[in-house]
Structure 1
Amino acid sequence: MNHLPQVWGRPRDDIYGAYDHSYLQTSGPKTHTQSPTVTGTSVVAVKFNGGVAIAADNLASYGSLARFTDVKRLRVFDNSTVIGFGGDVSDMQYIDRLLESIDIRENYSSNGNTLNAKNLHTYLSKVLYKRRSEFNPLWNHILVAGFDGDGKPFLSSADLLGTTFSAPHLATGFGAHLAIPILRRLFPEDMPIENITKEQAVAALKDCMKVLFYRDARSLDRYSIAVVTKEGIELKENEKLEAQSWAFAEGIKGYGAQVN
């Protein structure tokens, strides 16, 4: 082996000949799955009495550029489950195709059984773990909202390592730092979800989306919100935060010419 710093670890040219770089050339398309370029930020969700509410903004950022402002990052599965995606948009589209193929296969199945949210979360966590084990991870952090096999509200997350976590309220991205404290204040951990109404959960998510818009540089004032109940899924994909303005900044000490 060559021990010169600039070529450390390669076979020595004087013994094995010059390294042939032609083996690295390919006629296939360039892929960048190891360095996500277009990404979405926070997904926020909370359980309530009789279901789960989940929200995500419609922005896909190209680095620090707010490039795509109409990317819907909530996906409905079989009118019973909603999957919220944070992270790489191309990997989100890949997982979306997987979900479509599963949905078609389930609808053509003759056994009459359908996947619930808990089943779907288990499947997706295994997919994420498999790709991580192949050193080709899907750069996503997902939330799965719906019902388990016993008909109870279900909410759980899975990340690019295949790590799973369940809680009465969850968030991905910056929402884990900004939205979770709000939800913990409104709905303490010792508060049973039977005491949380649908209206309270939706109002809390709207407050979280407002805070994220002001505090997260990769967020947007347009968002999607879904409410999962046993009656079905109520999905709104073009909601807008009302009366949003940066005029309040003029009253902050130290802003602009104001120094006192």
Structure 2
Amino acid sequence: MIPRRVAHNPIIGPGVVPRGVDAEYDAACARDDARDGPATTTHAPASGRAFTLDGKAREKAPTTRTQTPYVTGTSALGLKYGDGVLLACDTLACYGSTKRYKNVERVKKVNERCAIAFTGELSDFTYVCNLLEELTTEDFCEDDGMTRDAEEIYQYLTRVMYNRRNKFDPLWNSLVVAGLKTNGETFLGTVGMIGTHYEDDHVCAGFGNHIARPIFREFYKADMTEEQAVEVMRSALYACVMRDKQMMNKFQICKVTKDGVTISEPFAVPTEWGYEKFYNPTKFSETGW
């Protein structure tokens, strides 16, 4: 039996396996279709059924594109310091504007040298995680002592996001990738939902771009200790939770160093809502209600 091809096809890009690329693989899929019936969707589930470009099949299949995200997470923050990189985000996934799921881990360990955090649609991030797990499994099966570093994961994700954007079927996520390069240097970058990407000493995805990055610009130093970096990160999280209605006061910080990836237990930052102008916010607003 021919094994199912993984979703990241090396010929035409990640996440897509059309018919006609591999005749032997197509024959194996045809045998499976004869046994189990034809595919009912145009996208590949976790089992790895081939992506199809057959117009008639697309007309019959249900729509599986994420054009309206439902369960979403907000800001994800990343910050370099002297010996490693920090990632941070809250544990809330909103159903529309409802704070529905309050224990969602929005930081994922990819391998011992890389971790990612996300904003946007939760189900699309699950798909991205499935792709990364395939890469990790592939590294394990090679058994050559090598694993992909953070920069390689970052470049791979830029191709995934841009590939899906070109098919008018984007993954509704912005990602923050943190970790170490092969030479031991720290790495931090962000990838947008249409493939836009950049690297920096501090990055944010989501609403944190407007709130947290000014704090990072003011207090960042290349030789910060871990304690100083955590303090700056907690200040940024405080600023975000006080201004972002879709963020809750329950956070996780992920640390990536040469010793590996460590994700903290959820914690809260102290908040203060007793400011004078909070009591009557429409006092000087003639049209307020």
Percent identical pairs in the alignment equals 34
The answer on whether the counterparts of 1:80 and 1:228 sit within 8 Å (CA) in structure 2 is yes
Q: Which residue identity lines up with residue 100 of structure 1 in the other structure? A: E
**Unaligned regions of 5+ residues in structure 2, if any?**
1-56, 285-289
Deviations 1:73-118 (A, max 9, x none): 1000112211011111110010111111211111111332110000
How high is the TM-score relative to the length of structure 1? 0.82
Does residue 122 (structure 1) correspond to residue 123 (structure 2)? The answer is no
1:106 alignment counterpart: 139
2:19 alignment counterpart: none
1:39 alignment counterpart: 72
Distance in 2 separating the partners of 1:145 and 1:256: 40
Deviations 1:166-188 (A, max 9, x none): 1100001110000000111112x
How far 1:29 moved relative to its partner?
4.7
How far 1:198 moved relative to its partner?
0.9
Does residue 199 (structure 1) correspond to residue 227 (structure 2)? The answer is yes
Q: What SS is found at the alignment partner of 2:135? A: helix
Closer/same/farther in 2, CA of residues 257 and 164 from structure 1, 3 Å limit: closer
Does residue 137 (structure 1) correspond to residue 170 (structure 2)? The answer is yes
Distance in 2 separating the partners of 1:118 and 1:24: 36
Question: Which stretch has the larger CA shift, 93-102 or 177-186?
Answer: 93-102
Q: 1:62-81 counterparts in 2 under 5 A? A: 62-81=95-114
Q: What SS is found at the alignment partner of 1:240? A: coil
1:227 alignment counterpart: 255
Does residue 255 (structure 1) correspond to residue 288 (structure 2)? The answer is no
Closer/same/farther in 2, CA of residues 253 and 163 from structure 1, 3 Å limit: closer
Closer/same/farther in 2, CA of residues 212 and 257 from structure 1, 3 Å limit: closer
**Unaligned regions of 5+ residues in structure 1, if any?**
1-22
How far 1:149 moved relative to its partner?
2.2
Figure out how many residues of one structure are paired with residues of the other and give that number.
229
The answer on whether the counterparts of 1:72 and 1:237 sit within 8 Å (CA) in structure 2 is no
Q: Which residue identity lines up with residue 72 of structure 1 in the other structure? A: E
1:149 alignment counterpart: 182
Q: Which residue identity lines up with residue 143 of structure 1 in the other structure? A: V
Q: 1:7-22 counterparts in 2 under 5 A? A: none
Which structure is higher in RCO with an 8 Å CA cutoff and minimum separation 6? 1
How far 1:237 moved relative to its partner?
3.8
Q: What SS is found at the alignment partner of 1:54? A: strand
How far 1:31 moved relative to its partner?
3.3
Does residue 174 (structure 1) correspond to residue 207 (structure 2)? The answer is yes
Distance in 2 separating the partners of 1:93 and 1:24: 23
The answer on whether the counterparts of 1:82 and 1:146 sit within 8 Å (CA) in structure 2 is yes
Closer/same/farther in 2, CA of residues 136 and 253 from structure 1, 3 Å limit: closer
